[in-house]
């Protein structure tokens, strides 16, 4: 069975600083990996996904993530944080194919200080 | 990508009653997934619903409490039965579409009083 672990339940950065949200996965087969964002009182929005193509994945709102098999990681980064990036971020894994369920990490709450 | 219409968006229910949540997808999908998001927490998979067969439930979730119907390839319902305050959560359905990834419904915010 697959799983993900998000390191750090809360991350705080200053506006304009680098955003780094960490995610490590466990999967017995090549994984599909996802990052979702959830703004307060809103639904989930897909930021980006890795599905065994390019290891560096670019998503919406300037976010990107790099799949590193040797480190079993899929960390989310953004060069310069905006106040509007403050939200809850979830890493998720599937074992491939869209008939397979998705497992979510515990989430990381990002705070952006002015 | 697929579009999911989930209803109701929110409800306030009395203890001991039941709430049925509906998800309608604009394309045919084999599997639909139901998740629960308790306040301040991540999403937990409740069950996987395949058309024409019984849903498969995750550990900690049982059919008597969370009966699921999947009458066709575009529709599913989740019922939360015998409600208690601990059931107050957001419930979401999800589908995976080949080539597009996973899409989630907008969620149903349930408050049990």
The answer to whether the Cβ–Cβ distance between B96 and A94 falls below 8 Å is yes
Q: pLDDT at residue B110 above 90? A: yes
Mean pLDDT within B17-34:
94
Give the pLDDT band (50/70/90) at residue A98: low
Mean pLDDT within A37-42:
87
pLDDT at B79: 98
- Sign of the CA dihedral B43, A35, A38, A47? negative
Phi, psi angle pair for A84, to nearest 5°: -70, -10
**A108 contact partners, CB below 8 Å, separation of at least 6:** A6, A8, A9, A10, A11, A21, A22, A88, A89, A90
Q: Which residue of B has its CA nearest to A91?
A: B42
The answer to whether the Cβ–Cβ distance between B101 and A98 falls below 8 Å is yes
Q: pLDDT at residue A44 above 80? A: yes
The answer to whether the Cβ–Cβ distance between B43 and A97 falls below 8 Å is no
- Sign of the CA dihedral A44, B45, B75, B67? negative
> Please, what's the b/e burial string for A59-71 (b: 16 or more CB within 10 A of its CB; e: otherwise)?
beeebbbebeeee
Q: Which of B91, B96, B97 to mutate to test the interface with A (most CBs of A within 10 A)?
A: B96
Q: Given the DSSP bridges, would you call strands B89-97 and B75-80 parallel, antiparallel or unpaired?
A: unpaired
More reliable by pLDDT, A44 or A36: A36
pLDDT tens string B55-103 = 999 999 999 999 999 999 999 999 999 999 999 999 999 987 665 668 8
Contacts of A90 in chain B (CB under 8 A): 42-43
pLDDT at A36: 94
The answer to whether the Cβ–Cβ distance between B104 and A101 falls below 8 Å is no
């Amino acid at each position: 069975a697959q799983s993900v672990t998000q390191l750090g339940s809360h991350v705080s950065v200053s506006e304009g600083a680098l955003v780094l949200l960490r995610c490590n996965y466990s999967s017995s087969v090549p994984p599909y990996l996802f990052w979702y964002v959830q703004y307060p009182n809103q639904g989930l929005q897909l930021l980006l996904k890795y599905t065994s193509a390019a290891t560096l994945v670019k998503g919406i709102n300037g976010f990107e993530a790099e799949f590193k098999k040797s480190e079993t990681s899929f960390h989310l980064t953004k060069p310069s944080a905006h106040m509007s990036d403050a939200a809850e971020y979830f890493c998720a894994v599937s074992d491939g194919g869209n008939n397979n369920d998705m497992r979510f990490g515990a989430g990381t709450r990002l705070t952006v200080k002015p | 990508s697929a579009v999911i219409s989930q209803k109701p968006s929110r409800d306030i229910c009395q203890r001991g009653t039941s709430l049925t949540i509906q998800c309608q997808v604009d394309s045919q999908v084999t599997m639909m997934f139901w998740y629960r998001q308790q306040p301040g927490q991540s999403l937990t998979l409740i069950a996987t619903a395949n058309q024409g067969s019984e849903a498969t439930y995750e550990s900690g979730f049982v059919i008597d409490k969370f009966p699921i119907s999947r009458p066709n390839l575009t529709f599913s319902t989740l019922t939360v039965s015998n409600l208690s305050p601990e059931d107050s959560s957001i419930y979401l359905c999800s589908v995976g579409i080949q080539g597009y990834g996973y899409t989630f419904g907008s969620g149903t915010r349930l408050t049990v009083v």
